[in-house]
Amino acid sequence: MMKEEKEGLVNVAGDEGGVCAPQGFAASGVIAGIKVSGNPDMALIVNQGPEKTAAAVFTTNRVQAAPVTVSKKHIADGKLSAVVLNSGNANACNGQPGIADALEVCQKVADGLGVDVTEIGACSTGLIGDRLPMDIVLAGVPKLIEKLGADAAAGTAAAEAILTTDLVAKQAVAHGDGFTVGAMGKGVGMISPSMATMLGVITTDASVSAEMAHEAIAKASEVTFNRLDIDGSTSTNDTVIILANGASGVKPSQEELDQAVLSVCDSIARQMQSDAEGVTKRVSVTVRGTGGAEDALVAARIIGRDNLFKCAMFGSDPNWGRVLAAVGTAPVDMDPEHITVSFNGHVVCRDTGGTPDAREVDLSGKDIAVEVDLGTGNPEEATIRTTDLSHDYVHINSAYSS
């Protein structure tokens, strides 16, 4: 029932195979046996060249998982041949043995592909604090290599193998002028993901430098993944890697690359919002009328993280007082006597007071757009995407490790 509910929300863009849509990439996903559920739990993305350009953005959490440490080191030279991913175990907080485990997985992949271990990136997602079941994981690697394919089904298999509490695979494709960008992702956020770590792999057959690739992924993440704020938490494992091989022979400008990368990141972020844990509402919060776009982002995040506001959204309750109570705590410029709030375009609060029919606004639909003007007259604005706080969120997150 929840599954059906969710499918109505999700934009499944998998018919082109996500990471396999650009030329020169192969992917696979297999059931290695890490997950007790028996669902797919390992994935591999291989860049078949000719170029092996790579860049990434990683979690800002000070506690970083072993695969993050390893991937940062391996990507430092701007080159990767492949990324190996597993779900069902985060390989986080396992100290030096955890790092040795991650390296051993990379080595096994490198041996299988005939490349150096430093050309392999690694991503993990799942429970923190348990060692990887190495016999299972290492036995999964030859299966991954054997199953590699370059068609849409192969891309989709990889996208499915990285899911944890996600209900649907998330893929996106953007077509530039002579080049293609593909993507897969899982989880619900970057700066502020839910328990489900955010992992993303973006592929392109454009010919670009590692610096260009990094600039594109950093800029796109800032306005997509980093503005998806489901519960204010930040994973130890968040990673988004971009691989570029130049197979199209096209050298796009930074702007062209940025646009295509932004497009797939935006799609993946929307799909994450729709599939967030326990979500019944997609909520966007836009703030303007403060000190500028930075202030607006701070204020929008404070509203979007407020549990009382999120519960009201779950209840389809146009309780604008919760918006004011939340935004009043934001350390930003505002005119506290002249705040305006609207829900889905209906002004429910003007000059910090309710409008006559404010309580009648119908919020029963799945999308709720909240707009807040803090009254300074500054038109610069920022938007974050969030969700409601539902019974299912509590249910899913109250018995994860046990």
Per-residue mark of binding to a second copy, 252-281 (x: CB under 8 A) = ------------------------------
Number of residues that bind a second copy (CB under 8 A): 68
Residues numbered 38 to 67 that lie near a second copy (CB under 8 A) are 60-64
Task: Give the integer Cα–Cα distance in Å for 35 and 51.
Answer: 34
Q: Per the residue annotation, which of 197, 204, 234, 383 is the catalytic one?
A: 197
Task: Kindly state whether residue 231 participates in binding a second copy, applying the rule CB under 8 A.
Answer: yes
Least spacing, CB of residue 296 vs a second copy, in Å: 16
Identify the residue among 249, 353, 377, 379 touching a second copy (CB under 8 A).
353
Residue found by looking up tokens 């993507």 in the block: 183
Q: Is 399 exposed, middle or buried (0-12, 13-18, 19+ CB in 10 A)?
A: exposed
Least spacing, CB of residue 198 vs a second copy, in Å: 13
Least spacing, CB of residue 3 vs a second copy, in Å: 21
Q: Starting at the edge strand that comes first in sequence, how are the strands of the sheet with 353-354 ordered? A: 353-354, 346-350, 340-343, 367-373, 282-288, 381-387
Nearest to 217 by CA among 207, 230, 204: 204
Distance spanning both ends of the chain, measured CA to CA: 24
Task: Kindly state whether residue 95 participates in binding a second copy, applying the rule CB under 8 A.
Answer: yes
**Complex with a second copy: residue 37 or 398, whichever CB lies closer:** 398
**Cis upstream peptide for 50 (omega within 30°):** yes
280 is catalytic: no
**Complex with a second copy: residue 25 or 225, whichever CB lies closer:** 225
Task: Give the integer Cα–Cα distance in Å for 211 and 254.
Answer: 10
Per-residue mark of binding to a second copy, 195-214 (x: CB under 8 A) = x-------------------
Q: Are strands 170-175 and 180-186 parallel, antiparallel or unpaired?
A: antiparallel
Task: Kindly state whether residue 36 participates in binding a second copy, applying the rule CB under 8 A.
Answer: no
Task: Give the integer Cα–Cα distance in Å for 170 and 293.
Answer: 29
Task: Give the integer Cα–Cα distance in Å for 373 and 367.
Answer: 20
Task: Give the integer Cα–Cα distance in Å for 348 and 356.
Answer: 8
**What is the residue type of 370?**
V
Task: Kindly state whether residue 99 participates in binding a second copy, applying the rule CB under 8 A.
Answer: no
Stretch that binds a second copy, among 182-190, 208-216, 229-237, 251-259 (CB under 8 A): 229-237
Identify the residue among 221, 236, 248, 290 touching a second copy (CB under 8 A).
236
Q: Contact residues for a second copy (CB under 8 A)?
A: 60-64, 90, 92-95, 98, 127-130, 194-195, 231-236, 305-308, 311-312, 314-315, 317-322, 324-330, 334, 336-337, 339, 349, 351-354, 358-359, 389-391, 393-402
Query: Which residues belong to the active site?
Result: 197
